[in-house]
Amino acid sequence: MNNNNKNHSNILNNLALDQAQRLAKKKLKEGSYEDARNVYSDILAKFPKNKKAMEGIKALTNRPQGKIKNIQEPQQEQLSFLVQLYGQGQFKKVIDIAQGLLNHFPNSIVVLNIFGAAYAGLGDFAGAAKSYKKAISIEPNYIDAHYNLAFALREQGRLEDAVVAFKKVISLSPQHVEAYNNVAATLQKQGKLEEAIKAFKKAISIKPDYAEAYYNMASTFEEKGELEQAVISYRKSISLKPGYADAYFNMASALEKQGKLKDSLNAYSKTLELNPDYSDAWSNGARVLENWNDLEHLEVWLQNAANACKILPPRIQFFQAKLLTRNKQFEKASKVIETIEFSRFPDDLKKEFLKLEAQCFEALEEFDKAYISFSKMNALVKESSEYLRCDPDNYIQDAKDQLSKLNSRPIPNFLNYQTEIPDSDPVFLVGFPRSGTTLLDTILRSHSSIEVVEEQPTTKVAQTFIYENFSSDIVNQLVPLEIVAGARKAYREELSKHLKDVNPGSVIIDKLPLNLLKTPLIKNLYPRAKFILALRHPMDTILSCWMQNFKLNPAMAVMADLEKTVDLYCLGMETFKKSWIDYNLNVHLIKYEDLLENLTEETTGLLKFLNLAWEPQMKNYQKTAIKRGKINTPSYSQVVQPIYKTAKYRWLKYEKYLNKYLEQARPWIKEFGYMDN
């Protein structure tokens, strides 16, 4: 008897009784004793007097475990009755009867094992472990007790002890495939992902048709970020177990992370064919369609979800409200929002819900309510452990330290270099986040000779190479040419990962707004690099950053606090201005507001800077955005719309909350030719 499947569904939900009996017998012959025991227990749960199941349990109970001395066991009928009660979930009754039996048979390892399993069934894993240990003290080679002890330890969070216990099972039974699978799962929980994958592979080598091991290994690959390997393993688990709804669901999630939205949606749809009430598949499919900007199919999807789910999940209600918001039906969206039970949301969706609520309030011109909802959203961000790990104060301090070095050192003379291909240097699209860089990116990539790499860690890879091979101070000293060459190679290799089918002679644009702060690094890499500086009214930019629920990293964590966002904005602009002057950067400045007013004229000027000509399809950039699929920035829903001007001077609607930051931002408002009222 073991307790690792205490939350699984009964096998008879999927198999007829005779099929379940044959399966148990097959597992018994294969030596998969735990699987056989689980099937027999399921049968007894529904058919308490089933003789074949009781005989099967008896065979398992009497299975030799090692050399046992001076052990007396109760009669088989008493043991079978205990197992029957356990299978029915009557754990308290099992404990009462087992305690009575132990008074007469204190060294009964079978009763002690059942006793522990019943405690585990009640969630008392410390009590379970105590009983298993007692059984092991009587018979050190009792495999079932070691195996169940491992689960009890894992449930208590004692992961290292659980690994030791599972490995003990393996030492006693080297072909114990379930022990390999579960030691691997425990190693995964510890973050020892490579070790976990090795253990899963060992389980599969023993049992090549082990669908669950392939599934668990896939989730480990996914956690490692090896999404392609994850998808391959999920597909293998499905090939072995075609009705594996969870495998389809997790594969869909991995495909979604890869940006393969069509394949992802197909996998979510297959999940729902197998289990129409799988609410997470309905909500994740809705997320795919919404991120894909396919609102027409999203409406159909949500209606199907409402028809299929017995109780409408809050996530589906959330996407119903989001669809109404995107269709400008703000009053209807607001009514749906009022019906949603906020406490039922997981933490990640609570923030998105508050953002959506705030957007509805703003559209209905209830700006005070909108400000309160945005504030609540950011308060939740700051309460998260992820925010604390990001350490936004340290990020700001690093920016301050770099600026201090820039202001105190002599201006360096960068050595030039001969590029392998003329005019092949990338162009860097920078600006503070929420300055219109995604709109500009979408317009530019509609040109036949432009490729845009969107917010990838290209400069981070180069920076890491320099730090590891030279120094972390690249402001006060020139980087040796051989180090620069290595860093440039690392940059190019990372860049090439995100480019497909590039036409010869294309202009490559590396878009990452806060590369604004990495101009000293970029100047070392590419002394002749061109920069596009995207600008927007500083107060609109700062406010819009604070109103986003960004995926957190050290930079984006800053945006959860208005004061810190103002500080970082000023530091970023001062750093770029200083670099522009000192390094004589080649910069084209473009304002978001000007782009809204005259897209063709502003874009033509930018294209001239890139030595390209205007192309007519650029005016219909929304088609490019829709073809792209998933856009990895908060602006994904905006760039598929016609040019809109509602975000222009938006900050004035919240002026009373922002006035205290105006003095600090005013120099940049004037610098860029904006008005502060």
Residue 76: count of CB within 10 angstroms of its CB: 15
Under DSSP, is residue 508 helix (H, G, I), strand (E, B) or coil? strand
Give the residue among 69, 128, 123, 70 at the shortest CA–CA distance from 98.
128
Look at strands 507-511 and 427-430 and give their pairing.
Answer: parallel
With contact defined as beta carbons under 8 Å apart, do 218 and 250 qualify?
yes
Task: Check whether 534 has a pLDDT greater than 90.
Answer: yes
Domains and CATH numbers, the chain: 11-173 (1.25.40.10), 314-383 (1.25.40), 389-454+506-671 (3.40.50.300)
Task: Check whether 410 has a pLDDT greater than 90.
Answer: no
Check residue 28 and give its pLDDT: 67
Report the alpha-carbon distance of residue 127 to residue 116 in Å, rounded.
Answer: 7
146: its two tokens: 């070691």
- Whose structure tokens read 């009557």? 90
Check residue 32 and give its pLDDT: 67
Mean pLDDT of 599-603: 90
Check residue 52 and give its pLDDT: 80
pLDDT bucket at 5, cuts 50 / 70 / 90: very low
Report the alpha-carbon distance of residue 513 to residue 397 in Å, rounded.
Answer: 19
As a whole number, the mean pLDDT across the chain is 88
Task: Check whether 171 has a pLDDT greater than 70.
Answer: yes
Residue 103: count of CB within 10 angstroms of its CB: 8
Residue 328: count of CB within 10 angstroms of its CB: 9
Backbone angles phi, psi at 428, to 5 degrees: -105, 115
Mean pLDDT of 555-566: 97
**Cα torsion 496, 499, 505, 507: sign:** negative
Q: What is the pLDDT of residues 645-673, one digit of tens each?
A: 556 789 999 999 999 999 999 999 999 99
With contact defined as beta carbons under 8 Å apart, do 665 and 332 qualify?
no
pLDDT bucket at 67, cuts 50 / 70 / 90: very low
Instruction: Please name the helix (run of DSSP H) or strand (run of DSSP E) that holds residue 123, with its range, or none.
Output: none
User: Percent of the chain at pLDDT above 90?
Assistant: 68
Instruction: Please name the helix (run of DSSP H) or strand (run of DSSP E) that holds residue 272, with its range, or none.
Output: helix 261-274
Q: Residues near 589 by Cβ (< 8 Å), separated by ≥ 6? A: 533, 535
Task: Check whether 261 has a pLDDT greater than 80.
Answer: yes
Check residue 414 and give its pLDDT: 65
Check residue 61 and give its pLDDT: 57
Under DSSP, is residue 257 helix (H, G, I), strand (E, B) or coil? helix
CA angle in degrees (0–180, nearest 5) for 629-630-635: 120
DSSP characters for 430-467?
E-STTSSHHHHHHHHHTSTTEEEEES-SHHHHHHHHHH
Report the alpha-carbon distance of residue 384 to residue 437 in Å, rounded.
Answer: 28
- Whose structure tokens read 């890499």? 525
Check residue 415 and give its pLDDT: 61
Length of the chain: 677
DSSP characters for 240-298?
HSTT-HHHHHHHHHHHHHTT-HHHHHHHHHHHHHH-TT-HHHHHHHHHHHHHTT-HHHH
Of residues 413 and 422, which shows the higher confidence score? 413
Q: Report how many helices (DSSP H) and strands (DSSP E) the chain contains, helices first.
A: 34, 5
pLDDT bucket at 597, cuts 50 / 70 / 90: confident
Q: What is the pLDDT of residues 415-471, one digit of tens each?
A: 665 555 555 799 999 999 999 998 899 899 889 999 999 999 999 999 999 999 999
Q: What is the pLDDT of residues 190-248, one digit of tens each?
A: 999 999 999 999 999 999 999 999 999 999 999 999 999 999 999 999 999 999 999 99
Q: What's the predicted TM-score (pTM) here?
A: 0.75
Of residues 454 and 44, which shows the higher confidence score? 454
With contact defined as beta carbons under 8 Å apart, do 57 and 37 qualify?
yes
Task: Check whether 4 has a pLDDT greater than 50.
Answer: no
pLDDT bucket at 329, cuts 50 / 70 / 90: very high
Mean pLDDT of 117-121: 93
Check residue 395 and give its pLDDT: 97
pLDDT bucket at 622, cuts 50 / 70 / 90: low
538: its two tokens: 């500083």
Question: Which of 9-23, 72-86, 374-388 holds the top average pLDDT?
Answer: 374-388
Mean pLDDT of 362-388: 96
Residue 675: count of CB within 10 angstroms of its CB: 8
Check residue 33 and give its pLDDT: 65
Residue 268 vs residues 239, 249, 319, 428, 494: alpha-carbon distances, Å: 17, 6, 16, 37, 31
pLDDT bucket at 638, cuts 50 / 70 / 90: very low
Report the alpha-carbon distance of residue 311 to residue 207 in Å, rounded.
Answer: 40
Mean pLDDT of 117-133: 94
The long-range contacts involving 669-676, CB below 8 angstroms and separated by at least 24 positions, are: 669/537, 669/538, 669/539, 671/573, 671/577, 672/535, 672/537, 672/538, 672/591, 674/537, 674/538, 676/539
Of residues 36 and 421, which shows the higher confidence score? 36
Least confident among 62-66, 351-355, 436-440, 441-445 = 62-66
Give the residue among 97, 65, 96 at the shortest CA–CA distance from 81.
97
Under DSSP, is residue 122 helix (H, G, I), strand (E, B) or coil? coil
For residue 424, how many C-alpha atoms fall within 13 Å in the half-sphere facing its CB?
13
